[in-house]
Structure 1
Amino acid sequence: MSAKVLMVQGCTSDAGKSTVVAALCRWLHRRGVAVAPFKPQNMALNSAVTVDGGEIGRAQAVQAQAAGVAPHTDFNPVLLKPNSDTGAQVIVHGHPVGNMDAVGYHAYKQVAMDAVLASHARLVDTYEAVVVEGAGSPAEINLRDRDIANMGYAEAVDCPVLLVADIDRGGVFAHLVGTLALLSESERARVVGFAINRFRGDPALLQSGLEWLEQHTGKPVLGVLPYLHGLVLEAEDALPRESEPRSGARLRVVVPVLPRISNHTDLDALRLHPDVAVTFIGPGHAFPPCDLVVLPGSKSTRADLAWLRAQGWDEAILRHVRYGGRVLGICGGMQILGRTVHDPEGIEGPPGSSDGLGLLDLETTLAPTKQLRLVTGRLVSGDAAVSGYEIHCGVSVGPAMARPALWRDDGLPEGARSDDGRVVGTYLHGVFDHPEALAYWLGEAGLTASAPLDVMALREASLDRLADTIDAHMDVSMLVRLFGLGSC
């Protein structure tokens, strides 16, 4: 088997590449095609655990769901997880190889490219189609040397490219024409057409521009995709674009946005619940009254803890607990709730120790080996089913661990609770995703008789909606030819 490969590149970051790839994966899957997603290099702090025991970008896990396959490390062979403004943890085939700054990683790119091509070769031998997502923009001329994320990969494997631009940002024709102008002749030749994303309004008003674009570039517009409100898809990295307050909400949740916040997709089920108002607070914001504080994951726990203190939010959280409020810490958030966080080997920054908030009687030591596992189990209180995954370097110990948050199906305890049960910590990402678990957490925070919500079912419906959009707004006959589908 040798798969047909199509790469989706974007004129800008957040042009919608991840969503278009997910849409094409679900569209192909519904047609009975064995399809896999692929992103050679991803930079993101939202990640997922794979069936082969590794770690990939969250967006590739979503795309795997769209394709009807289990997430695998070959779907994202190189993942960069920023731990400062100038450096990142480098993960290759699912496992960390070290922390590098930009210069160091540039020198490492040939090794990274070898990993990318090895994964590519396995995928094209296994699947009928591979839909590839680029990173950022292919027109970043300062990053052309040793590029593995965009045209460097496309040239190496000789695949066609679909170029996506976000019209909602404005300047869509300049983005497309300017991107083409900055490509080499061979790179321009492999662009088979354009997709214009997030269009609002009457398509007739765009027609003259589309005709000019096709005449000027000699490239067809394969589709104008509408702005789809209300999609329930886990974000690759950025916080949600749409976060409207709910005036009729009965439960108030506050989430401090830490500088290195990771896996904020844990909050999706809370954000989407009709009875819950989630407030993300950033630097300089006062800590509002609430029923529940959720401390999210962090890629740099000690640095984010220091930043939280600099905002005065440590005192606000302690005051919240004194007055009877509840706190849930997830992964790095649980570590922050403990007595101490130790990093003797400098795993996430300079070696040293930091005092935590002291709300859980535990201490955490960061270790070189990252713990990666898929987890199913049941919450200790309420006996609700729960499922998710763990991604952490920390090993937490202490009396609070004798009061676990849940029991895993393998019989082991997980997480910790305070004596009064008002403060809970867990390493489990996705702790709100199961409908039973969500209902339990909402009830514990004071929301009784809440409306049911199944975020997993909503994500499935959104993926089908994306595939419907491909059928309605893309040149399906061209896609059939690109993927060699014949009469499929």
Structure 2
Amino acid sequence: MGKKIMLQGTASNVGKSIISAGLCRIFKQDGYSVAPFKSQNMALNSFITKEGLEMGRAQVFQAEASKIEPTVDMNPILLKPSGNHRCQVIVKGKVREDMSSSKYHDYKLELVDILKETFDGLSNKYDIVVMEGAGSTAEINLKDRDIANMGMAEIADAPVIIVGDIDRGGVFASISGTMLLLDEKERKRVKGVIINKFRGKKELLYEGVKMLEDIIKVPVLGVVPYTDIKIEDEDSVTTRFKNKMKKNDINIEIIRTPHMSNFTDFNIFETQEDVSIRYVDFGESLGNPDVVIIPGTKSTIDDLKYIRDSGIEPQIKDLHKKGKLIFGICGGYQMLGKKLKDPYHVEGEVEEIEGIGLLDTETVFGNEKTTTQVEATICNNLNGYLENLGNKKVKGYEIHMGLTSRGEVHSLDTINKKLDEVVNYTEGSINKECNVVGTYIHGIFDEIDFTRTLLNNIRTKKGLEVIDSKVSSFEDFKDKEYDKLADFLREHLDLEKIYEIMND
């Protein structure tokens, strides 16, 4: 069995995922084989593995930091909220069923054997497993069926480091209060704490750190300053949606629907110096962007109704008439069509609803969920915003319920490979004017050649000079960011002590 270490938190959004990713990269740099593990993840951002199985994206970027291929063993349980205190329960990459929160609470104990078997498999394969808890470790009302924090630490017999967020205030109280709420056996598992997201002079904190150590009887393993290294974060805790848009040459506005999923599709735009992004939240209106994106969603019909009821639909149509680019991904693609049908009530009680109507397509929801990685080639003979994109390669993954049939529209791409098998069929839809685009491919923008050409077409339309991307590959960009994170954490964490904790 390999070594293991588990990071748990005083709350959500304390930085467990980022620090876990940083430790994965550090251990890899130090010559160890390493894998991430999170027993239970609740998120709408998900990923499809090479085997066509679904997992949370947090463990995907941690796997990237570990320089290994992500597998569902790294996140055996994924919960995708679907509203009304219900969620879709995904176990080892496959949908079990939609459950109420109370039903899932009772069901969790049936998953213990799966978690133990899965974790043991990883621990036997890798030198080190970096484990991550979920939310707060001291949810005393859920302790009897906990499989995400101390319950999982016990299953794996793992030492625990607790992470607290000083940026939100009250970090000493939150850490000491967390320790107070743990029972004696759980407290013995805690071998240290990390104070994260510090702003200011560390010397002003030293006295408080010493007092905290005297109270909780375990060492503070580091005070990590706030930093802006460009690494993915989880949809449930991200601050991206609140960022103020700085006007730039190209302005993109993304509609933040209630059930938006896979906003990581748009992280690539943060690497392009001429692009600004704004998420249009509830109660806000679209401005005058160059591009409107309707993202993926866990509940297409509900989010379509939201767009309609909030008054955003006529704004989209008005921008379309002005010649702006309208881009829909997955559920957003489905919404852009003329009609959506749900004869099996997969999404709810509504059996049929009119779409936004900017594409001549119709989607019918079925009981089968499509989960696959794909590689594709953009179709030829496109013009306008899509000029010069013909024959460019893209890749990504599909996660959707429903099939979309096309009328008088042009295909966006030809799928060449699906789950490593050679195939040949067309996908996506484009209107005649090439200013409305829909696709099922999550991650399509991650291909720099495709995205930079699209952005330069927008620049040309606006009378601006074409520019090159300073980032030649999104994968290389992310890899360098993981190295930056590792260097940063080496400076601020007591790694010698962390290795000692794992070796005990």
Measure the CA separation in 1 of the matches of 2:113 and 2:408. Answer: 45
DSSP-derived class of the 1:74 partner: helix
Change (3 A) 1:440 1:195: same
Measure the CA separation in 2 of the matches of 1:456 and 1:354. Answer: 39
Contact 1:15/1:197 (8 A) holds in 2: yes
Q: What residue is the counterpart of 1:17 in the other structure?
A: 16
- For 1:64, the aligned partner's letter is A
Q: What residue is the counterpart of 1:120 in the other structure?
A: 119
DSSP-derived class of the 1:118 partner: helix
Measure the CA separation in 1 of the matches of 2:413 and 2:324. Answer: 18
Out of 458, 462, 465, the position equivalent to 1:445 is: 458
Residue 243 (structure 1) shift: 2.5
Measure the CA separation in 2 of the matches of 1:27 and 1:346. Answer: 48
Residue 272 (structure 1) shift: 3.6
DSSP-derived class of the 2:276 partner: strand
Change (3 A) 1:402 1:113: farther
DSSP-derived class of the 2:446 partner: coil
DSSP-derived class of the 2:176 partner: helix
State yes or no: 1:458 paired with 2:466. Answer: no
Q: What residue is the counterpart of 1:399 in the other structure?
A: 407
Measure the CA separation in 1 of the matches of 2:197 and 2:308. Answer: 39
Q: What residue is the counterpart of 2:426 in the other structure?
A: 413
Percent identical across equivalent pairs?
39
DSSP-derived class of the 2:445 partner: coil
Which range is displaced more, 131-140 or 457-466?
A: 457-466
State yes or no: 1:482 paired with 2:482. Answer: no
1:9-408 maps to which residues of 2 (within 5 A)?
9-229=8-228, 231-237=229-235, 238-241=237-240, 243-247=243-247, 249-380=248-379, 381=382, 382=389, 383-399=391-407, 403-408=411-416
Measure the CA separation in 1 of the matches of 2:290 and 2:172. Answer: 47
DSSP-derived class of the 2:333 partner: helix
What's the TM-score once normalised by structure 1's chain length? 0.95
Measure the CA separation in 1 of the matches of 2:314 and 2:350. Answer: 26
Residue 222 (structure 1) shift: 0.7
What is the RMSD computed on CA atoms of the aligned residues?
1.7
Contact 1:92/1:115 (8 A) holds in 2: no
Q: What residue is the counterpart of 1:422 in the other structure?
A: 435
Measure the CA separation in 2 of the matches of 1:325 and 1:402. Answer: 18
Measure the CA separation in 2 of the matches of 1:484 and 1:436. Answer: 46
Contact 2:7/2:161 (8 A) holds in 1: yes
Contact 1:408/1:414 (8 A) holds in 2: no
DSSP-derived class of the 1:289 partner: coil
Measure the CA separation in 1 of the matches of 2:174 and 2:263. Answer: 30
Change (3 A) 1:151 1:466: same
Measure the CA separation in 2 of the matches of 1:347 and 1:107. Answer: 24
- For 1:450, the aligned partner's letter is I
- For 2:92, the aligned partner's letter is H
Measure the CA separation in 2 of the matches of 1:371 and 1:407. Answer: 15
Contact 2:297/2:331 (8 A) holds in 1: yes
Which range is displaced more, 372-381 or 84-93?
A: 372-381
Measure the CA separation in 2 of the matches of 1:417 and 1:371. Answer: 22
Change (3 A) 1:392 1:256: same
Contact 2:244/2:278 (8 A) holds in 1: no
Offset from partner CA, 1:72-116 (integer Å, 9 cap, x none): 010000000001141111100001111111011112112222322
Change (3 A) 1:401 1:412: farther
Residue 280 (structure 1) shift: 0.9
DSSP-derived class of the 1:478 partner: helix
Which range is displaced more, 340-349 or 74-83?
A: 340-349
Measure the CA separation in 1 of the matches of 2:395 and 2:370. Answer: 16
Gaps spanning 5+ residues in structure 1: where? none
Offset from partner CA, 1:377-410 (integer Å, 9 cap, x none): 2222513221211111121112256523454344
Measure the CA separation in 2 of the matches of 1:275 and 1:318. Answer: 25
What's the TM-score once normalised by structure 2's chain length? 0.92
Contact 2:409/2:432 (8 A) holds in 1: no
Which range is displaced more, 266-275 or 22-31?
A: 266-275
- For 2:290, the aligned partner's letter is D
Offset from partner CA, 1:98-137 (integer Å, 9 cap, x none): 1111011112112222322221121111111111110000
Offset from partner CA, 1:433-465 (integer Å, 9 cap, x none): 111011122134345513403433322121111
DSSP-derived class of the 1:163 partner: strand
Measure the CA separation in 2 of the matches of 1:113 and 1:133. Answer: 16
- For 2:405, the aligned partner's letter is V
Q: Kindly report structure 1 stretches of 4+ aligned residues shifted beyond 4 Å.
A: none
Contact 1:5/1:131 (8 A) holds in 2: yes
Contact 1:400/1:417 (8 A) holds in 2: no
Change (3 A) 1:400 1:142: farther
Q: What residue is the counterpart of 2:420 in the other structure?
A: none
- For 2:243, the aligned partner's letter is S
Offset from partner CA, 1:7-60 (integer Å, 9 cap, x none): 100101010010011011011111121111000000000011112321111110
Measure the CA separation in 1 of the matches of 2:183 and 2:349. Answer: 42
Which range is displaced more, 459-468 or 338-347?
A: 338-347
Change (3 A) 1:278 1:406: farther
Contact 1:305/1:356 (8 A) holds in 2: yes
- For 1:99, the aligned partner's letter is D
Measure the CA separation in 2 of the matches of 1:97 and 1:401. Answer: 36
Contact 2:223/2:493 (8 A) holds in 1: yes
Measure the CA separation in 2 of the matches of 1:10 and 1:288. Answer: 38
